[in-house]
Amino acid sequence: MSTYIDTHVHLNADQYDEDLQEVIDRALAANVEKMIVIGFDRKTIERAMKLIEDYDFLYAVIGWHPVDAIDCTEEDLQWIEALAKHPKVVGIGETGLDYYWDKSPKEIQEYWFRKQIQLAQKLNLPIIIHNREATADVVRILQEENAASVGGIMHSFSGSVETANECIKMNFMIGLGGPVTFKNARQPKEVATEIPLQYLLIETDAPYLTPHPFRGKRNEPSYVPLVAEEIARLKELPVEEVARKTTENAKRFFKID
C-alpha cells in the first residue's frame, strides 16, 4: 500500500482550530504517514512544538517567515536555536525572501534570511526556503552563504527547470504542491516532468494552495496524494512509484524513520 509524507503543512494554523483531529484522521486514512509542521513566528512555533509532543508522526520545522521579518529579533532567533535542539525539529524555516508582500523591507528580509542560514549551519539542519518573486536574490544569497553545506528544500517551487537544477547543485530538494495540479501551471508541470524523482518532495502547504479539484476550498494533508498523482501522470509512472520514492526522499532528507 502506498504511503505519503506531507513535507510542508501548517496544522498549527487558525483554520484548523475547530476540527484539527478530524483533519489529522483524514490524513492518516489517506495513508499520509508523517507530516512536517512549519512554525514561522512565535504563535505558530509554539503550536508546532506542542503538536510534535502530542503526535508521534508529526515533526516540526521552525524559523521566521520573510513577510514578518520586520518583527523578528535577536531574542527570537536565540529562542528558535534553543527549541531546534528538540529531536523532532528537523529543519530551519520557512525562511527566504518575499517581494510580493511589502510588509518587511528587502534589506531586513535579507538580514534574517542570512542569519537563519547561519543558524541552520550551526545546528547542522536543512533550510526550508520560501521564495516569492525573488528567485535571483534567493539563489545568490544561498550561494554566498554556502547553504549547500546543509542543503534544504525549495518549498512550493514555482521557478524554471533551469533554476531547479541550480538549486539541486546546491544540495536542495524541490518541493511540489497543489499548484502542479493547476491547469495553467506551466512551470511546475515542466519541473515535475523534467526533474528526476530523486530530487522531488511532495507537500500541501495546507491550509493554502489547495490542489484541483478542491481548489478554492481549505487545503489539508489528506490531499497530498493528488499531488503525487499529477506528478505520476506527467512522468508517465505508476503513482505507487512516485509515492514510494518521495516518501524515501523525505525520510532520508529529514533523517526520520
Q: What confidence score (pLDDT) does residue 102 get?
A: 85
Q: Taken in order 225, 90, 153, 69, is the CA torsion positive or negative?
A: positive
Q: What confidence score (pLDDT) does residue 195 get?
A: 98
Measured in degrees and rounded to the nearest 5, phi and psi for residue 131 equal: -135, 120
> 176 - beta bridge partners?
202
Q: Which residues of the chain have pLDDT under 70?
A: none
Q: What confidence score (pLDDT) does residue 180 get?
A: 98
Question: Which residue blocks in 170-238 are alpha helix, DSSP H?
Answer: 186-194, 224-235
Cα first-last separation, the chain? 17
Other Cβ atoms within 10 Å of 146 Cβ, number: 12
pTM: 0.97
Q: What confidence score (pLDDT) does residue 60 get?
A: 98
Q: What confidence score (pLDDT) does residue 110 get?
A: 98
Q: What confidence score (pLDDT) does residue 69 get?
A: 97
Q: What confidence score (pLDDT) does residue 96 get?
A: 98
The Cα 56–Cα 116 span in angstroms is 27
Q: What confidence score (pLDDT) does residue 94 get?
A: 98
